[in-house]
Amino acid sequence: MQEKIGSLKPHVTLRLTDGEFDDMQGRLSIERERLALDLGQLFSLPCKRMPVFLHQPGGDSGCFEIMPCALGERHFVFLHGGFLHEGTLCEARFNTLHGSWTDRIGMVRNCRHVQNSIHEIVVSFTEPVDVGQIAPAAVRRHILLAEDDELSAEIIKVHLSESNATVEHVTNGRLAVDKGLEKRFDLIIMDLRMPEMDGLTATKSLREKGYDGRIVMLSAHTDEESRSSALEAGCDIFIGKPFNPDEILKALNFSEEEPLVSTLAGSPTFQTIINRWVGQLPELVRALREARRSCDREKLEEIARELRSKGTACGFEPISLAAHTLESLLDSSESIESISCAVTKLENLCTLARMVDVPCPST
């Protein structure tokens, strides 16, 4: 199957814009629940299109481009531009969140007409899938919530629980620092005003002690001074109260992006160079964060220049483009908030860069 999917150009049987696909996704999800198809928990996939190899019993076989709707431990749901018989063999390759892939084989269990030539296909796998390796939404994330107001805390916990997250709740900044230093969380949500230790002091303390995870600051004070103080203290995102629940979810999903793999990864000449540079990125990210906290524009510009040039040389164009954007903002004397957002984006892209699996030399 590796050769089939990797070498054959998939045949395109349906053409939908991303917007049309997203609109259809919501409707089909509701219909699946109504039809009680008993597919277990399903999660959306980050890709909009992917190839699969279909073996039709008594019919044509080949590689087709499909639009994946959802993935579960035992089932895969996708859109296809034609009817598929029950029992059709389906071979699919899923990109993992770690830059590799996993191949799975299944049989078409259900095919229902959606509109025009479009059909929704349900495939049952012969072996279970580790969905958390493929779909970001399936990864159970761990959140630390520092909020002294019990009602606000309950509201936030309800919204986060709907996003497959577990929440540890503390009521002051001192406890937040203790918890944050015990282990790394996917996200820390910090209220600005709390007893014993406020959110600003707690954030500064975490950063000074080496905590480099994502921190969101919540505050009823939404003036520019409060925002700037929060960003300077080391928080990544500032959200004003009352907040829209989508803002919390957006902060949680901020880093849910596919891994970055170098466009030069297939070149044996560059593989060692790529891995050496990717290995240096954590230190550059730490330097970026420190320069952002201290508002050191000169250091930010120096690091951005290095990331721009080496990002291009090593085949990581998204990093190079984000670094160029940061350089432009620094040159134009943009506000600290705009610059902080650009730095955060650059940091995030650097953490997504993946090394190349260099094959062992044959003996």
What digits encode the pLDDT tens for the residues 15-31? 888 888 888 888 888 88
Instruction: Say whether both 23 and 79 belong to one domain.
Output: yes
* Tens-digit pLDDT profile for residues 66-83: 999 999 999 999 999 999
Instruction: Say whether both 71 and 146 belong to one domain.
Output: no
Instruction: Say whether both 8 and 97 belong to one domain.
Output: yes
Residue 64's nearest CA partner among 6, 13, 2 is 13
Within a domain: residue 128?
A: yes
pLDDT at 103 over 90: no
Both tokens of residue 303? 């690091």
170 vs 208: which has the higher pLDDT: 170
Instruction: Say whether both 220 and 333 belong to one domain.
Output: no
DSSP notation for 227-252: HHHHHHHT-SEEEESS--HHHHHHHH
Both tokens of residue 295? 């508002």
Within a domain: residue 48?
A: yes
pLDDT at 363 over 50: no
pLDDT at res. 89: 94
Phi, psi dihedral angles at 63 (to 5 degrees): -95, 130
Instruction: Say whether both 33 and 107 belong to one domain.
Output: yes
pLDDT at 101 over 90: no
Both tokens of residue 272? 């060692």
pLDDT at res. 99: 62
pLDDT at 362 over 50: no
**100-125 burial: b if 16+ Cβ within 10 Å, else e:** eeeebebebbbbeeeeeebbbbbbeb
* Tens-digit pLDDT profile for residues 210-244: 787 789 999 888 788 888 888 888 888 888 887 77
Q: Which CATH number covers residue 241?
A: 3.40.50.2300
Cα separation, 159 vs 315, whole angstroms: 38
Within a domain: residue 119?
A: yes
Within a domain: residue 360?
A: no
Instruction: Say whether both 126 and 148 belong to one domain.
Output: no
pLDDT at res. 6: 54
pLDDT at 254 over 70: no
For residue 325, which amino acid is it? T
**CA torsion, ordered 314, 319, 231, 188, to nearest 10 deg:** -90
Both tokens of residue 325? 């954007």
Tell me which of 136, 166, 200 is where a domain ends: 136
Q: Which CATH number covers residue 291?
A: 1.20.120
Tell me which of 252, 287, 311 is where a domain ends: 252
For residue 175, which amino acid is it? L
Tell me which of 136, 164, 189 is where a domain ends: 136
Tell me the average pLDDT of the chain.
Answer: 84
- Give the CB-side neighbour count of residue 221, counting CA atoms within 13 A: 12
In percent, the amount of the chain with pLDDT more than 70 equals: 90
pLDDT at 258 over 70: no
Instruction: Say whether both 186 and 279 belong to one domain.
Output: no
Residue 109's nearest CA partner among 81, 89, 92, 129 is 89
For residue 39, which amino acid is it? L
pLDDT at res. 65: 92
pLDDT at res. 255: 47
For residue 339, give the 3-state DSSP assignment. helix
Work out the average pLDDT over 180-207.
Answer: 90
Instruction: Say whether both 181 and 129 belong to one domain.
Output: no
Task: Mention every residue, 6+ apart, whose C-beta is less than 8 A from residue 143.
Answer: 160, 165, 166, 167, 168, 185, 186, 187, 188, 189, 252
Q: Which CATH number covers residue 35?
A: 2.40.10
For residue 32, give the 3-state DSSP assignment. helix
pLDDT at res. 5: 59
346 contacts 338 by C-beta, under 8 angstroms: no
* Tens-digit pLDDT profile for residues 335-354: 776 788 788 889 888 887 88
Within a domain: residue 258?
A: no
Instruction: Say whether both 8 and 105 belong to one domain.
Output: yes
**259-293 burial: b if 16+ Cβ within 10 Å, else e:** ebbbebbeeeebbebbbebbeebeebbebbbbbbb
First to last CA, the chain: 27
Residue 180's nearest CA partner among 153, 156, 209 is 209
Confidence class for position 46, pLDDT limits 50, 70, 90: confident
For residue 5, which amino acid is it? I
Within a domain: residue 260?
A: no
pLDDT at 133 over 70: yes
pLDDT at res. 78: 96
96 vs 259: which has the higher pLDDT: 96
Cα separation, 280 vs 353, whole angstroms: 11
* Cβ-based burial of 201 (10 A; exposed 0-12, middle 13-18, buried ≥19): middle
Count of domains for the chain: 3
288 contacts 322 by C-beta, under 8 angstroms: no
Distances, alpha carbon 20 to alpha carbons 27, 33, 61, in Å? 11, 21, 28
pLDDT at 64 over 70: yes
Distances, alpha carbon 309 to alpha carbons 274, 286, 306, 319, 352, in Å? 13, 19, 5, 10, 18
pLDDT at res. 238: 87
Instruction: Say whether both 83 and 69 belong to one domain.
Output: yes
Within a domain: residue 246?
A: yes
* Tens-digit pLDDT profile for residues 276-334: 999 899 889 889 988 888 888 999 999 999 999 999 999 998 899 889 999 998 988 76
Structural domain including 92 reads 2-136
Work out the average pLDDT over 47-59.
Answer: 85
pLDDT at 128 over 80: yes
pLDDT at res. 70: 92
Within a domain: residue 361?
A: no
pLDDT at res. 74: 93
pLDDT at 37 over 60: yes
pLDDT at 36 over 80: no
Instruction: Say whether both 131 and 155 belong to one domain.
Output: no
Instruction: Say whether both 10 and 132 belong to one domain.
Output: yes
pLDDT at 260 over 80: no
The residues facing 189 across adjacent strands are 145, 216
In percent, the amount of the chain with pLDDT more than 90 equals: 33
